[in-house]
Amino acid sequence: MLNKYARAFFTRVLTPFAALLLRLGVSPDAVTLIGTAGVMAGALVFFPMGEFFWGTIVITIFVFSDLVDGNMARQAGISSRWGAFLDSTLDRVADGAIFAGFALWYAGSGDDNILCAVAIFCLASGQVVSYTKARGESIGLPVAVNGLVERAERLVISLVAAGLAGLHKFGVPGIDVLLPIALWIVAVGSLVTLVQRVVTVRRESAEADAAEAAASGPAGRGSEADR
């Protein structure tokens, strides 16, 4: 849901910035790589230390590269399969780094094995949710379903909660509970989304197989009669 509306809004807002980068000779691939490196630094340097506010600030700055690089490619007329592949692959790397950062915190100073496990589940399920759509599309299915918690929702829920939870270090009491709540929400939502996509792929594949059987049935019988 957020993918549909937020992406369109921020694409319009970031279009002038994308045009400026093109005039400066920056390539879309460079923006993709720098953005991913920034997200990884924010997540794997700040989060394991419990610096959720500053980590979220750094990640938020760099996460918009996911919109800027595609915008630049369209403006320059250089959209390519390689660019799409690189962007999608590094998205998975960045997402994994964010939840790995949470897991490292809870495995260390955060001292909560259950929440560490929940963060690892969020990491793994997010990767599998993305894979199910990519794999379904690779075998010719539309995978026409809007999941409950897709990538945009996972990022917004977890990063907003992390940023607010980080205010605990500035003296805001009780607010650190938001991050555990967000991780549980993302974990449950990702599981529901995974089930939605698997069910959709199963239905669409059955429909596609039935359509192919119906189309080839008469021809098959006819060729057998000719023999």
Q: How many residues does the chain have?
A: 227
Q: Kindly state the average pLDDT of the residues 8-32.
A: 87
The CA-atom distances, in angstroms, between 44 and each of 47, 68, 213, 219 are 6, 23, 51, 59
Binding site, annotated residues for a CDP-1,2-diacyl-sn-glycerol: 29-32, 70, 74, 80
Burial of 187 (0-12, 13-18, 19+ CB in 10 A): buried
Judged by DSSP in three states, 180 sits in helix
Separation between Cα atoms, residue 223 and residue 122, nearest integer Å: 53
Q: What tens digit of pLDDT does each residue of 32-45 get?
A: 999 999 999 999 99
- Catalytic residue annotation: 91
Binding site, annotated residues for Mg(2+): 66, 69, 87, 91
Q: What is the DSSP letter of 44?
A: I
- Residues of the chain above pLDDT 70, percent: 92
Evaluate whether 178 touches 161 at the Cβ level (below 8 Å).
Answer: yes
At residue 224, the pLDDT reads 45
Single-letter amino acid, residue 209: D
Helix axes 81-107, 65-76, angle to 10 degrees: 170
More confident residue, 13 or 116: 116
pTM over 0.85: yes
Q: Shortest CA distance to 140 belongs to which of 204, 199, 197, 196?
A: 204
Q: Shortest CA distance to 103 belongs to which of 89, 117, 92, 85?
A: 117
Residue 5 has pLDDT above 50, yes or no: yes
Q: What tens digit of pLDDT does each residue of 205-214 get?
A: 999 999 988 9
H helix or E strand, kind and range, residue 7: helix 2-23
Residue 62 has pLDDT above 70, yes or no: yes
Rounding to the nearest 10 degrees, give the CA dihedral for residues 103, 91, 191, 181.
50
Separation between Cα atoms, residue 33 and residue 82, nearest integer Å: 13
Task: Write the CB contacts of 208 (distance below 8 Å, at least 6 apart in sequence).
Answer: 140, 141
Residue 56 has pLDDT above 50, yes or no: yes
